[in-house]
Amino acid sequence: MYGIGYVKVHSHEKGLHFKDHEFKGLLGQGQHWFWDPTNAVRVDVVSQRSPWLHHEALDLIVKSGTLGNEALVVDLKDYERALVWIDGRFDRILGPGLHALWSKFKEIRTEVVDARTVQFNHKDMNAILSSPSSSELLENVVVEEGWAAVYFKDGEYVQTLKPGRYLFWKQMGKVHLKQIDLRETVLDVGGQEIMSRDKVTLRLNAQVTYQVTDPHLSVTAVENLSQSLYREFQLTLRAIVGSYELDGLLEGKERLAGEMEQALCRRTSEFGVRVIGIGIRDLILPGEMKELMNKVIEARKLAEANLIIRREETAAMRSQSNTAKLLESNPTLMRLRELEVLEKVASCSELKVVLGEKGLTDRVVNLL
């Protein structure tokens, strides 16, 4: 019939009644008839089995006050966020704006939080992160074991974060986290050409082992920690090596490393860094210097060998001289010595000897 409207609402539904674009109220279960000669009436039937009430005129519906106990209304300001649980299970995070949820068929629980704190902590963090809506509103940061994160908000230092998981609200200020490795780190400084005090050009390969002790200082004191440490080590290496002569460098690598470590520690403490150790891996001489050093070493070893030979010859002559003096002063010992010589000769050939008073050598009559 012209001008008459009809709508049926089931038990799990609600009818949103509009006339001339104004919300008039909710329609419950049943059949509803309307006299609408100008086609100004509209009824939107929505299901309450889905808890979310989405409608372009939600603000009119809420302001009418007709929802009553039928729905839970959440009106969030720009700095507020709402955590929503449906039937005891976390469902999503709501951003700023007006939201409504039917509460007839579902158990609805909401928790409104202030996002101006930026950092977000909650006992149900794992459940919250499992929701797809979390990535839209929350930034998830994990600090691994052996690391620390320096947390800045709007350019201002807030705190240093230990290993763990941290959540931050998006669009609530500029958040910057700089992660710093707290483990021992080895920095190689290779191919350094340095001139010693006696004008010899050397090539050195060295390394420094260090550890960050103050993450905040290591981020704010220098622009790039690794580059700054490399530069300081390089300058210290050149300054100390340049104060040594070549022989001192070749003989005292450990002393050189100790001096470098002491000098570098004073500077790196300003970066929040502790130097654990410094090592000189290679000390390379130019080709012509190698040949010259080899000749020097060869001459030195030859001189040492000649000196040893001369010492041995001198010791032998001194021993013979002492033996001669001893034999000269002791005739009996002289005779025994002659007999030893005679025994050695007799062992190699047939020997006939006549002994007399004038000594063995004067009485040898036949020697075969």
Biggest CA–CA distance in the chain, Å, is: 175
Confidence (pLDDT) at 197: 80
pLDDT of residue 109: 94
Question: Averaged in consecutive runs of 10 residues, what is the pLDDT profile of the chain (368 residues)?
Answer: 79 91 90 86 91 92 89 94 95 94 91 94 91 91 95 93 94 91 91 77 86 93 89 87 77 79 86 89 66 60 75 78 74 72 67 53 46
pLDDT of residue 365: 44
Q: How far is CA 119 from CA 90, 134, 143, 170, in A?
A: 20, 14, 14, 10
Q: Which of 138, 133, 131, 136 is nearest to 165 (CA)?
A: 138
Residue with tokens 């190698």: 290
pLDDT at position 367 is 40
CA angle 130, 135, 141 (to 5 degrees): 90
Cα atoms in the 13 Å half-sphere on the side-chain side of 302: 6
CA Rg value for the chain: 50
Q: Where are the domains of the chain?
A: 1-109, 118-181, 185-285, 330-368
Q: Tell me which CATH homologous superfamily contains domain 185-285.
A: Band 7 domain (3.30.479.30)
Phi, psi (5° rounding) for residue 333?
Answer: -65, -35
Nearest alpha-carbon partner for 197 in 150, 254, 244? 244
| Per-residue pLDDT at 293 | 58
Global model pTM greater than 0.85:
no
